Structure 1
């Protein structure tokens, strides 16, 4: 069984599930937002056997039969509305998480990606250090809560040559990468409240989005320097995105990076300097790809589906066809909105 941990409105998951269906297999999507409010976990262990069941939306899922899992942006748990005491709510959430995380570890399944590896790889400081250690070029970077250290870094780089960005973003609180302005210098003391990432600004001919699925690497060039906002391509994605070829040393470094981070899937951002050098910016272990696939035609969704099928040790069966029309049976999929500023995360 293939299990996908995501949300009901995740268009990426639906595209992959469609490709899995076309291969003659099925995948079960589990939305953790339903647990424990509208779903129940049953785990029984004994000397000779054990059971792992999830009662979910009117059906019982035997998790013991799961052979591959896609850790695809699982949602926060949906706590029961009867729990109104903040102390009890906090206790319940921790208990739920302990049970669920233990359940995942007990599965005899192959993951994309292993949850703990996915979480670790998202840490900006560590991924930068690992990228540097495997030979990728990285920008000069400062992560600090010390205003004096921030000022010293800005003095070295130059006010108009320094970018700053947060560690994470969400639809509720999203911040783009910004080029530091002189009028913002009087706000530098605010870093003492929360750490900020400062980096040298990388002049570029284009941005690169590199999507890695197992041993497959899909590289795309984003014509970001023709956009209305050239610092962060996510702010204006109405530009051309085309397949591209990476420098051999960059591709070799990416493979080493994925191995060092122990990831099967990753969406990696680079910038290509005018001299052709490709500079690593960051890797998102659960990054989006449909905005690339839609323009380039690169079969990333199919690659993810194939990887899940292979890890489940399932054999590809003939594609289902309409007996009358002789066409591949394919359900209509929702259009991916690449105009959303968080679409590329």
Structure 2
């Protein structure tokens, strides 16, 4: 059985579910936001019987019971925050209840024998931006010079060494305090004292305004160039996406190899990787989002990313493993590893 962890209104989840039905599979949508107000979960353990777990929720004609032990492939698409009962009124009670609900649900996920896209623990570990940069550099990917700090003096020294300019961005942000990637300006330098409240990521400015979004699904790679320089804000295409045209992009074979190596290192089967094309034609790794959006790329370029996800989940559900790429990238150049299996010690430009 295939499970999709997402909210009921998630369009990505709905699209993949429709593709799965067309392929002959019937996925179940599990909305963690409905636990415990609308969904009842139970996990039973004993030495006499195998582990059992159920997910019970209201349906159109009575209760629907899902046997969670039957899960064989699960897409960790977009788990929702648990909605607590309104009868819990004190902050202490609500905080305790939320932690207990979350611990129970996550414990159940860990008990399943399913293959996850992505495993929740690996998804969390793989989302750490600083670790991504360290691993990317180790694998021979070009990364921007970076300083993440709470120290105003360190930030000031880093920015002084970047005469061509620098950008800054948050680690995560929230829905209430979302912030785009911004160019460091004089007023920002004057406000570096605010770093004592929270750290900031500073990076060298990679000019050109050509962003590359690489959506990796299993071994399928869908690359698109986002021409941010055509928009009103070249430092973050999300600010004016309507005017940043999106086109298919062909990646060099060695770069594809290194991106697969990055995903393998983190144990991720899905990831939306952001690169930037430098003026010299080389590719600069920025970050990977283990749960990034992909429909905007699919709509603009026609690349079958939804189909790739459905095909991956169905293959995992059947026990066939990760399917081979539908359109394998050309491999006329060396891979990341040498003939003795060791990683290359020097990064070659990936143009």
TM norm. shorter chain > 0.5: yes
**2:258 maps to 1:257:** no
| 2:229 aligned to which of 225, 233, 242 | 225
| 1:215 aligned to which of 214, 219, 240 | 219
1:152 aligned counterpart, secondary structure = helix
Q: Give a deviation string over 1:68-115, Cα, whole Å, max 9, x none.
A: 100011011111111112112111111112111111111011100000
Q: Distance in 2 between matches of 1:93 and 1:170?
A: 19
The answer on whether the counterparts of 2:230 and 2:245 sit within 8 Å (CA) in structure 1 is no
What does residue range 29-40 of structure 1 map to in structure 2 within 5 Å?
A: 29-40=29-40
Q: Distance in 2 between matches of 1:100 and 1:310?
A: 25
Q: Distance in 2 between matches of 1:100 and 1:12?
A: 22
Q: Distance in 1 between matches of 2:221 and 2:255?
A: 11
| 2:308 aligned to which of 290, 303, 309 | 303
Structure-2 change in CA distance of 1:250 and 1:54 (3 Å): same
Aligned equivalent of 2:279:
274
Displacement of 1:205 after TM fit?
5.3
Aligned equivalent of 1:327:
none
Aligned equivalent of 2:56:
55
The answer on whether the counterparts of 2:73 and 2:313 sit within 8 Å (CA) in structure 1 is yes
Aligned equivalent of 2:143:
138
Displacement of 1:56 after TM fit?
1.4
| 1:246 aligned to which of 248, 251, 256 | 251
Instruction: Between 216-225 and 236-245, report the one with greater CA deviation.
Output: 236-245
Displacement of 1:212 after TM fit?
0.1
User: Gapped runs of 5+ residues in structure 2?
Assistant: 321-351
Structure-2 change in CA distance of 1:174 and 1:205 (3 Å): closer
Aligned equivalent of 1:289:
294
Moved over 6 A (4+): none
TM-score, normalisation: structure 2: 0.87
Q: How many residues align?
A: 314
Q: Distance in 2 between matches of 1:98 and 1:206?
A: 42
2:66 aligned counterpart, secondary structure = strand
CA RMSD of aligned residues (A): 1.3
Aligned equivalent of 1:188:
192
Q: Distance in 2 between matches of 1:278 and 1:168?
A: 24
2:318 aligned counterpart, secondary structure = coil
Aligned equivalent of 1:111:
116
Displacement of 1:249 after TM fit?
2.5
TM-score, normalisation: structure 1: 0.89
Q: Distance in 2 between matches of 1:314 and 1:62?
A: 19
Displacement of 1:314 after TM fit?
7.1
Aligned equivalent of 1:41:
41
| 1:174 aligned to which of 174, 178, 183 | 178
Displacement of 1:172 after TM fit?
2.7
